[in-house]
């Protein structure tokens, strides 16, 4: 890159970048400050004197304690984790197999099926949630984690399949030919050679699928009703707001704690996440 | 003990016909090389022998078994690929063990075979490494080792040396030759490099556009090419060709072109007489041309304008214009010659080739 | 040799069912079945059900009967639906333009070597990773009419003297929602476009620079055309997600004030689930379909054209 003098670098690159980072991260900072700020400081009008919104000298755990004592937050965390993990595993299983078939096998209608998967990849959840709610009720799955475990794959499988197709296509076909000559059946060549080689892709798909499940809102909102079945996003939304009253402290504490598992998974696998994200938009 | 025979073998991909009526018997312990330009069908033929491509029509036998419908895993063959196809997630030892594990060999036997193959190839120190930690030459050896441990009926090689640099390629070529002598296993080797074909093959199959052009021992192909294509493909630098007309001159046949008049000797003359008055292609290898001396008969001499002089040290290649044709001659390195010199050259009459202008078959 | 022959014979004893999997077509069928079942059951079937539902007069607790296009006729004349359609297009259009512009800018800022690049890149993606509902609550708290930290800052800077009621005024509420959507989407654009930028060889820039192109010209004549295919796909994804958005509006305004900020999805939710008018809700949801379909088709065709050029 041709950049030029130091002052130019600051004006054209460093300062804009700092502003971007500040704006993108400020809401999280605000979440954290609010979580630890006592109610007395929280509810001071915006034009009050001596108000110091960006810091507190009296940090408190009361909001976090409220979450665990007065709501079923721990239960919601467990539900979300359980649902996200199981639906991710199901989606990976289906997506890896389907991606392998579409990327590496010759069979009639392969191209048409690939396009069909791509189209379902683009179907938003909000298009189908009302009829799906009816179907869930007819299958007697309402208000159980299985309602979500079985429906989340509808948007996770196309995603995993699409991403895995990209990874599988990048593996030289000679690898499995060699394995088949070495005495492996097609199935064994896939299980022992191609799938292990595609592990980085599987990790990427899995991590993104996990964050997508954790993020999902409308199905969880519509399909679950009792407080002990809810996921974190729905629980926080419905149980920490009474009519017009928002419990901002616990709400922010819930938002913070509810974000932490995703953030941890993300921080361990940043590179996989990024490569999956960029892989997912390759046409 | 393994013979491979191909009978009326054909392969079509949708509408393109890539392998046409290949009939061939590869003898036990023979090193058979398939050579030809890209797209000639040689690799497809190899892949059909391996079982990786379905056969459109015809038959492949390994020994007396028809293997058309047998999947690759049950054909008892081993294959070395152009890009080596090493399993990247397994160590060198793991790569070599895979085929044996798939066939449920005892652990001790697997270990014995790996150590044996590793010592043959000199890769004992690399067994625990992963493929990505190896150099190109080492990967090549591992790929060979993986084939050797299997102790298969047939080795298949798909351009195994083409990813190596020139120096290493020559070295591995020699090693492959030694290896084949030592193991004496029927081998089928595909390459586009005629030097590899000539040096490695017990016999060589030259293919073009899906057809087999000629099958024979290397020298046979060099000395008596069956057609113009084989003549031009085998040998480096390539054979010179000139479009000529066959005429009678005082009872003896002559090949004539503007600026060129060559008398045809002995047996070639007899065969050419039948085609008097017809057009033909005259072929002469660069190494069969020399500076004319008093000993050369005038009917085997011609004049040439030198256009480029390529000094190679061991020889000089002269790019010349002879009448309307462009020719290359390989001459003594001590010769003092410069571009735009005019030279009188002669050819060895016994080394002349003549091809029919239409069928391109040797006359 | 004897050992190999024996084991080869052994492997021929695979069961007939496993033997069938050696045929690519059967293997493909087996591998695709789980996916086909799940997607058929929970995408194709609901879609079909949704069409039936939208043609009936079903409510919660009332199975309903066929009424033809009555629901569509009804929403066609519904002024809230008109606002909804307008909102959705406005919301999608404005956010996409800003996300693309800002995302590209951020990508260019990141497409250099500097210390801490990896860390910054990792942090920048956070808005995209963290569950939307949760981060939207942080924004809602920042936009709170009484306790807004944004108002506080603007007041301290002397820019305003009275509070701004961010979510109480229809236009301001829409703008607030747009800001949050941009905030959440910019990282996705930036990171994917950055990946696109990194595939462009620096030599092209150097060659253009030697040919006398100024930085802006280099961007316009080299970077932008080469980035086009990636940009199109990213925009396609973003447009569809934004068009069908739900969470953000649901949390920020619930479609209010006075139904002024509804999108298709929130309005469908309010009628279908909130009020229990399943058939009308399904009809509104399905009304998204033709728009989405056109977007997908147009973009797919355009992408194909760019790629085959």
Domain boundaries, chain B: 4-233, 240-356
B10 within 8 A of B20, measured Cβ to Cβ: yes
pLDDT computed for residue A254 by the predictor: 92
| C12: closest chain B residue by CA | B74
Tell me whether residues C155 and A47 touch, CB distance under 8 A. Answer: yes
Residue A55 has pLDDT above 60, yes or no: yes
Tell me whether residues B74 and C8 touch, CB distance under 8 A. Answer: yes
For the entire predicted model, the pTM comes to: 0.87
Query: So what's the ipTM on this one?
Result: 0.90
Q: Residue B276's closest CA among B303, B255, B300?
A: B255
Cα(C66)–Cα(C89) distance, rounded to whole angstroms? 31
Cα(A174)–Cα(A168) distance, rounded to whole angstroms? 13
Q: How many CB atoms lie within 10 A of CB A93?
A: 15
Cα(B214)–Cα(B207) distance, rounded to whole angstroms? 7
Cα(A70)–Cα(A86) distance, rounded to whole angstroms? 28
- What is the helix (H) or strand (E) element at residue B319, kind and residue range? strand B316-322
Q: Residue C282's closest CA among B336, B26, A127?
A: A127
C43 within 8 A of A116, measured Cβ to Cβ: no
* Distance (Å) from the alpha carbon of B29 to chain C's nearest alpha carbon: 15
Q: Residue B42's closest CA among B220, B151, B162, B128?
A: B162
Q: Residue B348's closest CA among B286, B261, B274, B278?
A: B286
Tell me whether residues B74 and C11 touch, CB distance under 8 A. Answer: yes
Band the pLDDT of C107: cuts 50, 70, 90.
Answer: very high
In this prediction, residues A48-55 reach a mean pLDDT of 71
Which residues, including other chains, have CB under 8 Å from residue B152's CB and lie 6 or more apart?
B76, B77, B78, B185, C4
Q: Which of A69-73, B28-32, B211-215, C243-247 has the lowest mean pLDDT?
A: A69-73
pLDDT digits (tens, 9 = 90+) for A209-221: 999 999 999 999 9
Cα(A205)–Cα(C265) distance, rounded to whole angstroms? 27
pLDDT digits (tens, 9 = 90+) for C260-269: 999 999 999 9
3-state secondary structure of B213: strand
Looking at residue B75, the DSSP 8-state letter turns out to be S
A199 within 8 A of A112, measured Cβ to Cβ: no
Q: How many CB atoms lie within 10 A of CB B267?
A: 9
| B86: closest chain A residue by CA | A175
Minimal Cβ distance to B78: which of A175, A181, A184: A181
Tell me whether residues B87 and A179 touch, CB distance under 8 A. Answer: yes
Q: How many CB atoms lie within 10 A of CB C52?
A: 15
pLDDT computed for residue C9 by the predictor: 43
CATH (one of 1.10.760.10, 1.10.287.610, 3.50.50.60, 2.40.50.140) for B240-356:
2.40.50.140
Q: Which residue has the higher pLDDT, A6 or C11?
A: A6
pLDDT computed for residue A8 by the predictor: 81
Q: In the Cβ-directed half-sphere of C4, how many Cα atoms lie within 13 Å?
A: 20
| C12 part of contact set with chain B, CB < 8 Å | yes
Q: Which of A47-51, A206-210, B74-78 has the lowest mean pLDDT?
A: A47-51
Do you know the residue count of chain C? Answer: 309
3-state secondary structure of A53: coil
Q: Residue C8's closest CA among B99, B144, B98, A193?
A: B99
Tell me whether residues A180 and B79 touch, CB distance under 8 A. Answer: no
pLDDT computed for residue A1 by the predictor: 46
Residue C63 has pLDDT above 70, yes or no: yes
Residue A49 has pLDDT above 70, yes or no: no
- What is the helix (H) or strand (E) element at residue B255, kind and residue range? strand B252-257
Cα(B76)–Cα(B62) distance, rounded to whole angstroms? 10
Cα(A191)–Cα(B102) distance, rounded to whole angstroms? 12
- What is the helix (H) or strand (E) element at residue C186, kind and residue range? helix C170-198
Helices (H), chain A: 6-9, 15-36, 39-42, 62-70, 73-104, 110-122, 129-138, 145-151, 153-169, 174-181, 186-189, 195-197, 199-215, 218-223, 232-239, 248-268, 270-280
B206 within 8 A of B198, measured Cβ to Cβ: no
From chain B, the residues in CB contact with A175 under 8 A are 85, 87
Which residues of A sit within 8 Å Cβ distance of B?
A: 172, 174-175, 177-185, 188, 192-193, 196-197, 199
Residue C193 backbone phi and psi in degrees, to 5: -70, -35
Residue C1 has pLDDT above 60, yes or no: no
From chain A, the residues in CB contact with C102 under 8 A are 20
B245 within 8 A of B289, measured Cβ to Cβ: no
Q: Residue B202's closest CA among B62, B33, B335?
A: B33
pLDDT computed for residue C303 by the predictor: 67
Q: Which residues of A31-56 are buried (b: 16+ CB within 10 A; e: fewer)?
A: bebbbbbeeebbebebeeeeeebeee
Looking at residue A106, the DSSP 8-state letter turns out to be -
C187 within 8 A of C161, measured Cβ to Cβ: no
| DSSP 3-state percent helix, strand, coil across chain B (nearest 5) | 30, 35, 35
pLDDT computed for residue A222 by the predictor: 92
B126 within 8 A of B95, measured Cβ to Cβ: no
Return residues 69-108 of B near A (CB < 8 Å): 71-75, 77-79, 81-83, 85, 87-89, 98-99, 102-103
* Distance (Å) from the alpha carbon of A129 to chain C's nearest alpha carbon: 8
pLDDT computed for residue B299 by the predictor: 85
**Average pLDDT along chain C:** 86
From chain C, the residues in CB contact with A153 under 8 A are 38, 42
Vertex A115 angle, CA A113 and A117, to 5° = 70
In this prediction, residues C209-238 reach a mean pLDDT of 87
Cα(C179)–Cα(A17) distance, rounded to whole angstroms? 18
Task: Sheet with B289-291: list strands edge to edge.
Answer: B289-291, B342-347, B301-311, B316-322, B325-331
Residue C135 has pLDDT above 50, yes or no: yes
Which residues, including other chains, have CB under 8 Å from residue B125's CB and lie 6 or more apart?
none
Tell me whether residues C129 and A211 touch, CB distance under 8 A. Answer: yes
Tell me whether residues A130 and C273 touch, CB distance under 8 A. Answer: yes
**Residue ranges in chain B modelled with pLDDT below 50:** none
pLDDT computed for residue B297 by the predictor: 85
Using only C-alpha atoms, chain A has a radius of gyration, in whole angstroms, of 24
Tell me whether residues A53 and C241 touch, CB distance under 8 A. Answer: no
Residue C206 has pLDDT above 60, yes or no: yes
Band the pLDDT of A50: cuts 50, 70, 90.
Answer: low
Q: Which fold has domain B4-233?
A: Rossmann fold (3.40.50)
Q: How many CB atoms lie within 10 A of CB B314?
A: 8
Band the pLDDT of C11: cuts 50, 70, 90.
Answer: very low
Residue C5 has pLDDT above 60, yes or no: no
User: How far apart, in Å, are the Cα atoms of B80 and each of A28, A236, B2, B145, B288?
Assistant: 56, 60, 18, 9, 38
Which residues of B sit within 8 Å Cβ distance of C?
A: 71, 73-74, 76, 102-105, 109, 150-152
pLDDT computed for residue C114 by the predictor: 84
Q: How many CB atoms lie within 10 A of CB A214?
A: 25
pLDDT computed for residue C170 by the predictor: 87
Cα(C24)–Cα(B352) distance, rounded to whole angstroms? 53
Residue C6 has pLDDT above 70, yes or no: no
Band the pLDDT of A4: cuts 50, 70, 90.
Answer: low
> Mean pLDDT highest for which of B313-327, C90-104, C202-216?
C90-104
B174 within 8 A of B206, measured Cβ to Cβ: no
3-state secondary structure of A224: coil
Vertex C85 angle, CA C84 and C89, to 5° = 115
Counting beta carbons within 10 angstroms of the beta carbon of residue C298, is it exposed (0 to 12), middle (13 to 18) or buried (19 or more)?
exposed
Name beta bridge partners: B187: B31, B155
Minimal Cβ distance to A178: which of B51, B71, B85: B85
pLDDT computed for residue B223 by the predictor: 92
pLDDT computed for residue C14 by the predictor: 59
């Amino acid at each position: 890159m041709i950049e030029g003098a130091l002052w130019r670098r600051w004006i054209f690159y460093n300062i804009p970048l700092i502003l971007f980072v500040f704006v993108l991260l400020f809401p999280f900072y605000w979440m954290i400050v609010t979580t630890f700020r006592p109610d007395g400081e929280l509810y001071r009008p915006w034009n009050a004197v001596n108000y110091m919104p960006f810091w507190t000298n009296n940090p408190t755990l009361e909001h976090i304690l409220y979450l665990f004592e007065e709501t079923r937050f721990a239960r919601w965390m467990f539900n979300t984790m359980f649902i996200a993990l199981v639906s991710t595993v199901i989606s990976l299983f289906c997506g890896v197999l389907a991606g392998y078939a579409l990327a590496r096998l010759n069979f009639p209608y392969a191209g048409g099926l690939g396009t069909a998967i791509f189209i379902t990849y683009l179907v938003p959840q909000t298009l189908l949630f009302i009829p799906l709610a009816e179907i869930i009720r007819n299958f007697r799955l309402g208000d159980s984690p299985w309602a979500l475990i079985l429906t989340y794959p509808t948007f996770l499988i196309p995603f995993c399949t699409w991403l895995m197709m990209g990874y599988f296509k990048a593996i030289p076909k000679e690898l499995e030919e060699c394995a088949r000559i070495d005495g492996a059946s097609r199935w064994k060549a896939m299980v022992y050679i191609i799938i292990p080689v595609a592990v980085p892709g599987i990790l990427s798909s899995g991590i993104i699928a996990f964050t997508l499940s954790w993020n999902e809102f409308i199905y969880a909102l519509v399909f679950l009703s009792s407080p002990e079945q809810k996921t974190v996003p729905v629980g926080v939304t419905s149980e920490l707001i009474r009519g017009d009253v928002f419990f901002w402290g616990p709400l922010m504490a819930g938002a913070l704690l509810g974000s932490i598992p995703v953030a941890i998974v993300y921080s361990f696998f940043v590179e996989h996440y990024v490569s999956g994200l960029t892989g997912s938009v390759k046409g | 003990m393994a013979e491979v025979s191909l009978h009326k073998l054909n392969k079509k991909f949708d509408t393109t016909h890539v392998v046409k009526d290949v009939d061939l018997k590869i003898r036990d312990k023979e090193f058979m090389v398939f050579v030809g330009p890209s797209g000639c069908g040689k690799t497809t033929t190899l892949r059909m022998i391996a079982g990786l491509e379905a056969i459109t029509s015809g038959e492949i036998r390994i020994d007396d078994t028809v293997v058309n419908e047998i999947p690759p895993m049950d054909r008892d063959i081993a294959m070395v690929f152009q890009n080596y196809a090493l399993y990247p997630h397994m160590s060198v030892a793991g790569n070599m063990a895979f085929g044996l594990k798939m066939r449920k060999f005892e652990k001790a036997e697997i270990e014995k075979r790996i150590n044996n193959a590793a010592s043959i190839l000199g890769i004992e120190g690399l067994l625990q490494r992963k493929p990505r930690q190896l150099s190109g030459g080492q990967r090549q050896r591992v790929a060979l080792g993986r084939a050797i441990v299997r102790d298969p009926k047939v080795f298949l090689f798909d351009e195994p040396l083409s990813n190596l640099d020139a120096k290493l390629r020559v070295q591995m070529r020699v090693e492959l030759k030694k290896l084949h002598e030592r193991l004496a296993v029927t081998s089928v080797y595909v390459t586009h490099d005629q030097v590899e074909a000539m040096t490695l093959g017990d016999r060589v199959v030259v293919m073009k556009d899906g057809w087999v052009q000629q099958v024979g021992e290397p020298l046979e192909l060099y000395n008596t090419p069956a057609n113009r294509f084989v003549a031009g493909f085998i040998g480096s630098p390539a054979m010179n060709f000139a479009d000529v007309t066959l005429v009678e001159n005082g009872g003896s046949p002559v090949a004539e072109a503007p600026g060129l008049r060559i008398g045809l000797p002995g047996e070639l003359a007899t065969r050419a007489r039948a085609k008097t008055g017809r057009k033909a292609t005259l072929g002469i290898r660069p190494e069969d041309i020399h500076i004319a001396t008093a000993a050369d008969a005038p009917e085997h001499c011609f004049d040439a304008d030198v256009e480029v002089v390529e000094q190679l040290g061991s020889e000089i290649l002269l790019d010349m214009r002879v009448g309307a044709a462009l020719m290359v001659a390989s001459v003594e390195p001590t010769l003092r010659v410069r571009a735009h010199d005019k030279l009188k050259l002669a050819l060895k009459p016994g080394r002349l080739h003549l091809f029919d202008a239409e069928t391109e078959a040797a006359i | 040799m004897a050992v190999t022959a024996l084991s080869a014979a052994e492997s021929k004893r695979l069961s007939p069912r496993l033997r069938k999997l050696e045929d690519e077509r059967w293997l493909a069928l087996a591998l695709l079945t789980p996916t086909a079942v799940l997607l058929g059951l929970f995408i194709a079937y609901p879609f079909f059900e949704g069409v039936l539902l939208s043609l009936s007069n079903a409510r919660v607790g009332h199975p309903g009967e066929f009424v033809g296009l009555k629901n569509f006729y009804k929403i066609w004349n519904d002024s809230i639906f008109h606002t909804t359609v307008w909102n959705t297009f406005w919301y999608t259009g404005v956010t996409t333009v800003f996300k693309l512009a800002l995302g590209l800018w951020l990508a260019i800022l990141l497409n250099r070597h500097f210390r801490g690049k990896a860390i910054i890149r990792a942090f920048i993606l956070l808005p995209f990773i963290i569950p939307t509902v949760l981060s939207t609550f942080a924004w809602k708290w920042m936009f709170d009419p009484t306790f807004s930290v944004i108002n506080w800052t603007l007041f301290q800077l002397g820019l305003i003297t009275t509070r701004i009621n961010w979510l109480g005024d229809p236009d301001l509420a829409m703008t607030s929602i747009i800001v949050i959507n941009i905030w959440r989407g910019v990282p996705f654009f930036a990171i994917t476009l950055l990946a696109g930028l990194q595939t462009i060889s620096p030599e092209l820039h150097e060659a253009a620079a030697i040919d006398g192109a100024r930085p802006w010209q280099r961007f316009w004549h080299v970077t932008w055309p080469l980035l086009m295919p990636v940009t199109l796909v990213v925009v396609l994804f973003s447009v569809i997600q934004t068009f069908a958005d739900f969470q953000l509006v649901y949390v920020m305004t619930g479609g209010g004030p006075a139904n002024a900020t509804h999108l298709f999805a929130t309005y469908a939710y309010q009628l279908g689930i909130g009020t229990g008018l399943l058939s009308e809700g399904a009809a509104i949801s399905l009304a998204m379909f033709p728009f989405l379909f056109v977007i997908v088709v147009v973009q797919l065709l355009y992408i194909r054209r760019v790629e085959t050029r």
